[in-house]
Amino acid sequence: MRSSMEKILVVGAGFMGSGIAQVCAQKGNLVFLTDAERSAIDNAINGIRWSLGRLAEKGSIKESPETVLKRIIPQYSIQKANEADWIIEAVPELEDLKKNLFAELDSIAPSKTIIASNTSSIPISSLAAATGRPDRVLGLHFFGPVPLMRLVEVVKGELTSDEVFERGAAFAVSLGKIPVRVTRDIPGFVMNRIFTAAFREALDLVDKGIVSPAEVDIGMREGYGWKAGPFEIADNAGLDTIELIGKALASLGEGQLSPKGDLLTRMLKEGKLGKKTGKGFYCYDSAGRRLPGQASFS
């Protein structure tokens, strides 16, 4: 059973890590937020303050933004792993980077600590093998923007204990999330395999000039009930992240799920990474609000 406040170390202060830190703090937990880049932590805190302010304006949170923020403590190393109940890794989708980090975290954290990865494509068992506690490693794959999206994939590695797996699901529920239990550790898990297959075909159709991104997104929303279309989702996630996921899946023998053609590569070379750079499949203002029109693909 969970105590009223747990200590959570979130490693990685980007779009996903900052969102995870926010929801953990909103639910009364003490959060240590760290990143290799100090500027990333500063940006994360500013973004969380803005997000909490919006939620407060809508009456979606009972506490003041500053009260919640006091439970998020910036850190400039991972040393707080030594007192964390949970560690959630949210660094870029690079397997070697994650494995090295897991080994280092394992050497610092108490034996009781559960180490979770927010990876969306890399097998949990591979990351767990870098530690001496594979039974206490699992996947907690959040969906962004984390404060708004309720889904969390809870992924069981080959050696994850049943107890830790169920604790992961309960932890997700405690954050106000809906857990989807993934009992077999496969590349891309469940939701990303479904999404990447859809995005691959949508991207190919756009690249061939058959349809526009906006029309695909409208079609998926109106015809299939998606809340957001594949190109809207990709812009939110970051096209660089989408590329990393595709490469990770290809390296694991799942090339059929990687993006077709070179449209994505061309956009990345032009610096069109999605919402975070103001241009992707759509254009955005400095606050991340979508502007009329689309980014050029040529």
Catalytic residues: 120, 141, 153, 192
Residue with tokens 């954050």: 175
Q: Report the Cα 73 to chain-centroid distance in Å.
A: 20
The rounded distance, in Å, linking the Cα atoms of 144 and 18 is 10
Among 14, 85, 98, 6, residue whose Cα is nearest residue 273: 14
The rounded distance, in Å, linking the Cα atoms of 88 and 141 is 10
The rounded distance, in Å, linking the Cα atoms of 30 and 189 is 29
Tokens of 191: 């939701």
154: which residues sit within 8 A by CB, 6+ positions away?
138, 139, 140, 165, 168, 169, 172, 179, 180, 181, 182
The rounded distance, in Å, linking the Cα atoms of 162 and 167 is 9
102: which residues sit within 8 A by CB, 6+ positions away?
89, 115, 117, 127, 128, 130, 131, 137
Residue with tokens 């979770």: 116
Name the CA radius of gyration of the chain, rounded. 19
Q: Report the Cα 211 to chain-centroid distance in Å.
A: 29
Tokens of 5: 């406040």
Q: Report the Cα 225 to chain-centroid distance in Å.
A: 23
Task: Please say whether the beta carbons of 34 and 75 come within 8 A.
Answer: yes
